[in-house]
Structure 1
Amino acid sequence: MKHLLNLLAAIALLVWGTHLVRTGILRVFGANLRHVLARSISNRYAAAVSGIGVTALVQSSTATSLIVSSFVGQGLVALPLALAVMLGADIGTSVMAVVFSFDLSWLSPLFIFVGVVLFISRQDTNTGRFGRVLIGLGLMLLALRLVTASTEVLTQAPAVKALLASLSSDRLLEITVGAVLAVASYSSLAIVLLTATLAASSVIPLDVALGLVLGANLGSGLLAVITTLRAAVEVRQVPLGNLLFKLLGVAITAPLVGLWLHHVQPYLGEPATVVVLFHLTFNLLVGLVFIGWTQEIARWVEKLLPKPDKTTSSGRPHHLDPSALSTPSLAISCAAREALYQADVVETMLRGMLEVIKKDDLKLAGDLRKMDDMVDELYSSIKYYLTKISREALGEEESRRWTDIISFTINMEQIGDIIERVLIDIEDKKIKPGRQFSEAGMAEIAELHDRLIDNLRLGMSVFLNGNVHDAQKLLEEKARFRDLERAYATSHLGRLSANTLQSLETSSLHIDLISDLKRINSHICSIAYPILDTAGALAPNRFRQPQKAEQA
């Protein structure tokens, strides 16, 4: 019993080490990996090569699938090219299986020692996160050695020898077990390495091991499909296409396992070498055979998962992809895109508000007020999504971006609330009583409204690009808008002194309205503060020091 527990603990350590390496690499290089992929996907062959490189680094074709799927969801990459990346990704993870099959156990204590020193001393930096990667690599190598030691003891037990002697190959069962193990462990690489170790220790026959390897490949494709089940259709298409490649590859290869063992095994030597090279050969052949089929498979996928009609609000792309949460830089990008959609809804409300004022359209006013519920829901969704991103996993720049997104969505939510209150006031104090603004008063409101629209667009640009010059320009608009609001309030009082009937009837609404428009502008201009603060372009405070005032 003790030796069985040791084996299970070693397997768990192998899976955990793989997880540490994958998440550590994504946290250190996540944004750069996305840029590398985005720039290198020019044709199917370049896409496959980039998939090999990124996956060899990340050690997870599933992680690569999630990154590439997000590109397809954003319309940055065509589906056929994304499928080519995945063919390369599968080759990349099989290359790493070959590397780990060598006896590198002597590196384990070195990696763990250096990794712990780096992680503890500089935990919140990229150096500390790289230490986490080294710890994961060291644990993987240590786990493989422990698996070997545990299986050697277990195989000497009479009961285990009798059980192994009774094993016979059932290819479908082996593929199913391998797939289930890959999904359960969230890593086909860990299962392939475990299978190679068990085969080397004679725990399982070699033909059974090859069946498990086929299943592990199938399981990695299935895992990506399961992970993206709640994502947008465009995001789900890539894992589904990759799963189709794997299904076709396994269907073709499974009957040929016996030929591999008969003709190729004698030239490879050790069982562990046979297993990992079979894994590599399988993915190489799938890549070479199906690289020319990416267009056809893409058509199949689009028939199985057709894109929804984007003309309706329910069919809009939802950017808060749960599968991206394991890649912080990717999740931050998803949240930023959803925040921009929230700003688009606010802009629609703001534009419609002037139409309501001019045309007394009660139906439009009701529709715009309902849109505030959508703004509130988007704010809640974005906030909840951001709270699920591990702050410890974020670098300094990503942490600032996290804060910027929260601040931006709060401002948009408050603008939506102000617009809703303005619409209620317009209904109660203007439309229902049948009152009208004076011509001069209406012109002032329209002028302030036009400035608001321009400032909102500038604010969205500042949020998206972080341009310091645009942020300074936006902040300057706050002072200009304040001056205009004061000037128009004064001119309104002048019309009241002249006993202008329309101004007398709408005086309270007019003053409240221009004050609310100023408040909306203040929320828009608040977008500039985090950008300027990061650039060091903000003064500590805007109050004059008493000593200086006296000297003056």
Structure 2
Amino acid sequence: MIFPVTLIDLAGFVALLLWGAHMVQSGVQRTFGPRLRAILGNALKGRLRAFLAGMGVTALLQSSTATGLMAAGFAAGGFVELAPALAVMLGANVGTTLIVQAFSFDVAAASPALIFVGVLMFRRGSGPRTHDLGRVYIGFGLMLLALHQLLGLMTPYEDAPSLRILLGSVSAAPLLAALLAAGLTWAIHSSVAVVLVIMSLASKGVVSPDAAFALVLGANLGAAINPVLEGPSGNDPAAKRLPVGNLITRAGGVAACLALLHPIGRLLISFEPDNARAVADFHTLFNLATAVAFLPLLTSYAALLRRLLPTRLDPADPSRPLYLDPAARETPIVALGAAAREALRLVDALEAMVQGARDALVEGDRKQIADARRLDSVLDRLNAAIKSYLAAIDPDELSEADHRKLHEILTFTTNIEQAGDVVDRNLLPHASKRLKRGLVFTKEGEEELAALMDRLVLNLRTAATVFMTEDPRGARLLAEEKAAFRDAEATATHAHFERMRAGRLDAIEVSALYLDLLRDIKLANSHIVAAAAYPVLERCGELLPSRIATNGR
């Protein structure tokens, strides 16, 4: 066969292998994504449980990167200590070896059946779960087919002298072999695919067992490089602790195994004469040995990482996104979680704006007006960043529940940003006008405004809670606040006119300003209610389509 054609075939079969792995991962994420994330979150309370959870979740997802992003999200948010998160990564590294173990057996004959069943489920499935499981079956079938084709492609070159010389030089330099495999794994973002290709080379005798083991070590090292380079962005070194810690454990294990490669290889071949099976066993044993070596040391190791990568003490730009990791967009459930966490920062900024407007209105603090206005640009930038981030997620990778969650995040951020616009364009100019002209409210009027502003802050905090928990009870309580604010406005307006009749106001300008403030506070509250309460109530069937009475009622 012509060599350039062979290279094209090789690239095509590797691409098919990668696409099959992608279909398995996306199908599992759509079917079990939220459940897997919950399992992982509950397991992050002990090192052994975290290790087992990381191994199981990764075995299903076939992506240690996806598992690592989930763990990194928990760690970055302060929901879990670094040591259990590192244990998850050790388990994830072992989990990636399980599919290699399965494919090391002669199971290529199952490929047509898997693809046939998968297509039937994908095309004829009545529900989204059946549809997504069909993707999983198709993905496994494609992976088996690609591996079978790779084995066939290697057969004519078993005894090619030029290839023997090239790979012989690699076999004589295990470090070079490891670096080549690390670079290849980094380039194609899949250690599973690289190890499967190495298995096919070893099964045909194209590479010696020692060379194959060195290449496997490189594949493990390359898989740990991507999260470091493409992980959390920003200037805070603490965000890199988990991926850097995982890379160091892998590099330590690779260095130790390279030093003992020949005796380990001889021992393994004596137990397993099948080269392909020997490669799979070596891959699994390497990750198990690394986990056994580092699990007892994780507490001290985590402390060392905290010293080497301390949290940046400089105040961060509040408008800079902290959680919108670009690498997480490949894993929709993680990306949506990151966007939801970023959305909660909008609540913090809006609360500071409302508090500033309150202090400016009630206490006459001029400095609060400028500080609150600066926060509006923070809201605008964060909202724009969240929208751009969500728009970059492939809609074909989203399940029905994922699409609903994406819509709810957009609804939440849009309404919070609009509430901020009400504060910036209405409440703060009113406060500035009052101070410039020396307008004075009555004592009762000031108390009413302060009470409504305090209630607005409480409703904002409730909205954040409802957004996180999606609790219908909290949503109902928050929705009732809209009527409460309407009644409060009516009561305050009536009391205000009563004071006017009693001659307790000297200026009509004060009256107009007071009533404008009441309406604007009520409008800001309406956006807060719409941000969190309405999506939950609509999903529960408790939201009326219209308040307008129909004919005949």
TM range (shorter): over 0.9
114-123 or 62-71, larger mean C-alpha shift: 114-123
Check whether the contact 1:115–1:131 (CA below 8 A) recurs between aligned residues: yes
Check whether the contact 1:237–1:302 (CA below 8 A) recurs between aligned residues: yes
Match of residue 365 from structure 2: 361
Deviations 1:430-471 (A, max 9, x none): 111222112232222223223322322222222222222222
Task: Name the CA shift for 1:517/1:41 in 2 (closer, same or farther; >3 Å).
Answer: closer
Match of residue 527 from structure 2: 523
403-412 or 23-32, larger mean C-alpha shift: 23-32
Task: Name the CA shift for 1:418/1:273 in 2 (closer, same or farther; >3 Å).
Answer: same
Deviations 1:337-392 (A, max 9, x none): 22122112111111221110123222211111111111111111111122122333
Match of residue 153 from structure 1: 156
1:191 to partner: Cα distance: 0.6
Instruction: Say whether residues 1:132 and 2:135 are aligned partners.
Output: yes
SS in 2 for 1:230: coil
1:169 to partner: Cα distance: 1.7
Q: What is the CA–CA distance in structure 1 between the aligned matches of 2:212 and 2:192, rounded to whole Å?
A: 14
TM-score (norm 1): 0.93
Check whether the contact 2:24–2:62 (CA below 8 A) recurs between aligned residues: yes
Check whether the contact 2:123–2:131 (CA below 8 A) recurs between aligned residues: yes
Deviations 1:399-441 (A, max 9, x none): 2222111111111111111111234433552111222112232
Match of residue 381 from structure 1: 385
Match of residue 212 from structure 2: 209
Instruction: Say whether residues 1:541 and 2:552 are aligned partners.
Output: no
Q: What is the CA–CA distance in structure 1 between the aligned matches of 2:433 and 2:98, rounded to whole Å?
A: 72
Q: What is the CA–CA distance in structure 2 between the aligned matches of 1:88 and 1:424, rounded to whole Å?
A: 53
Question: Residues 53-452 of structure 1 correspond to what in structure 2 (within 5 A)?
Answer: 53-122=56-125, 125-155=128-158, 159-160=162-163, 163=166, 168-230=171-233, 233-309=237-313, 318-452=322-456
1:396 to partner: Cα distance: 2.8
Check whether the contact 2:202–2:212 (CA below 8 A) recurs between aligned residues: yes
Which residue identity does 2:347 align to in structure 1? Answer: A
Which residue identity does 1:539 align to in structure 2? Answer: L
Q: What is the CA–CA distance in structure 2 between the aligned matches of 1:41 and 1:498, rounded to whole Å?
A: 65
Task: Name the CA shift for 1:529/1:46 in 2 (closer, same or farther; >3 Å).
Answer: closer
117-126 or 42-51, larger mean C-alpha shift: 117-126
Question: Residues 459-498 of structure 1 correspond to what in structure 2 (within 5 A)?
Answer: 459-498=463-502
Q: What is the CA–CA distance in structure 2 between the aligned matches of 1:25 and 1:541, rounded to whole Å?
A: 39
Task: Name the CA shift for 1:7/1:321 in 2 (closer, same or farther; >3 Å).
Answer: closer
Task: Name the CA shift for 1:74/1:153 in 2 (closer, same or farther; >3 Å).
Answer: same
Check whether the contact 1:56–1:95 (CA below 8 A) recurs between aligned residues: yes
Q: What is the CA–CA distance in structure 2 between the aligned matches of 1:111 and 1:320, rounded to whole Å?
A: 37
Which residue identity does 2:94 align to in structure 1? Answer: I
SS in 1 for 2:324: coil
Q: What is the CA–CA distance in structure 2 between the aligned matches of 1:315 and 1:294, rounded to whole Å?
A: 35
Task: Name the CA shift for 1:23/1:123 in 2 (closer, same or farther; >3 Å).
Answer: farther
Task: Name the CA shift for 1:14/1:397 in 2 (closer, same or farther; >3 Å).
Answer: closer
Match of residue 13 from structure 2: 10
SS in 2 for 1:196: helix
Check whether the contact 2:118–2:138 (CA below 8 A) recurs between aligned residues: yes
Give the gaps of 5 or more residues in structure 1.
none
Check whether the contact 2:18–2:193 (CA below 8 A) recurs between aligned residues: yes
Check whether the contact 2:362–2:449 (CA below 8 A) recurs between aligned residues: no
Check whether the contact 1:124–1:395 (CA below 8 A) recurs between aligned residues: no
Tell me how many residue pairs correspond in the alignment.
Answer: 548
1:144 to partner: Cα distance: 0.7
SS in 2 for 1:542: coil
Which residue identity does 1:294 align to in structure 2? Answer: L
SS in 1 for 2:552: helix
Deviations 1:233-261 (A, max 9, x none): 44421111111111111111102111123
Q: What is the CA–CA distance in structure 2 between the aligned matches of 1:312 and 1:230, rounded to whole Å?
A: 13
1:102 to partner: Cα distance: 0.6
Check whether the contact 1:425–1:509 (CA below 8 A) recurs between aligned residues: no
Check whether the contact 1:124–1:392 (CA below 8 A) recurs between aligned residues: no
Q: What is the CA–CA distance in structure 2 between the aligned matches of 1:320 and 1:162, rounded to whole Å?
A: 48
Q: What is the CA–CA distance in structure 2 between the aligned matches of 1:519 and 1:314, rounded to whole Å?
A: 26
SS in 2 for 1:432: helix
Deviations 1:302-350 (A, max 9, x none): 2222112386665998222223222222222222222122112111111
Check whether the contact 1:438–1:502 (CA below 8 A) recurs between aligned residues: no
1:162 to partner: Cα distance: 5.8
Q: CA RMSD in A?
A: 2.3
Task: Name the CA shift for 1:315/1:458 in 2 (closer, same or farther; >3 Å).
Answer: closer
Which residue identity does 1:522 align to in structure 2? Answer: S
Match of residue 21 from structure 1: 24
Q: Which consecutive segments of 4 or more residues in structure 1 shift more than 6 A?
A: none
Q: What is the CA–CA distance in structure 2 between the aligned matches of 1:339 and 1:114, rounded to whole Å?
A: 41
SS in 2 for 1:282: helix
244-253 or 502-511, larger mean C-alpha shift: 502-511
Task: Name the CA shift for 1:285/1:141 in 2 (closer, same or farther; >3 Å).
Answer: same
Give the gaps of 5 or more residues in structure 2.
none
Task: Name the CA shift for 1:446/1:132 in 2 (closer, same or farther; >3 Å).
Answer: same
Q: What is the CA–CA distance in structure 1 between the aligned matches of 2:95 and 2:167, rounded to whole Å?
A: 33
Q: What is the CA–CA distance in structure 2 between the aligned matches of 1:499 and 1:471, rounded to whole Å?
A: 42
SS in 2 for 1:264: helix
157-166 or 95-104, larger mean C-alpha shift: 157-166
265-274 or 132-141, larger mean C-alpha shift: 265-274
1:498 to partner: Cα distance: 4.2
Q: What is the CA–CA distance in structure 2 between the aligned matches of 1:101 and 1:48, rounded to whole Å?
A: 24
Task: Name the CA shift for 1:160/1:171 in 2 (closer, same or farther; >3 Å).
Answer: closer
Q: What is the CA–CA distance in structure 2 between the aligned matches of 1:52 and 1:180, rounded to whole Å?
A: 25
Q: What is the CA–CA distance in structure 1 between the aligned matches of 2:135 and 2:25, rounded to whole Å?
A: 10
Q: What is the CA–CA distance in structure 1 between the aligned matches of 2:309 and 2:10, rounded to whole Å?
A: 42
Q: What is the CA–CA distance in structure 1 between the aligned matches of 2:34 and 2:12, rounded to whole Å?
A: 34
Q: What is the CA–CA distance in structure 1 between the aligned matches of 2:78 and 2:174, rounded to whole Å?
A: 40
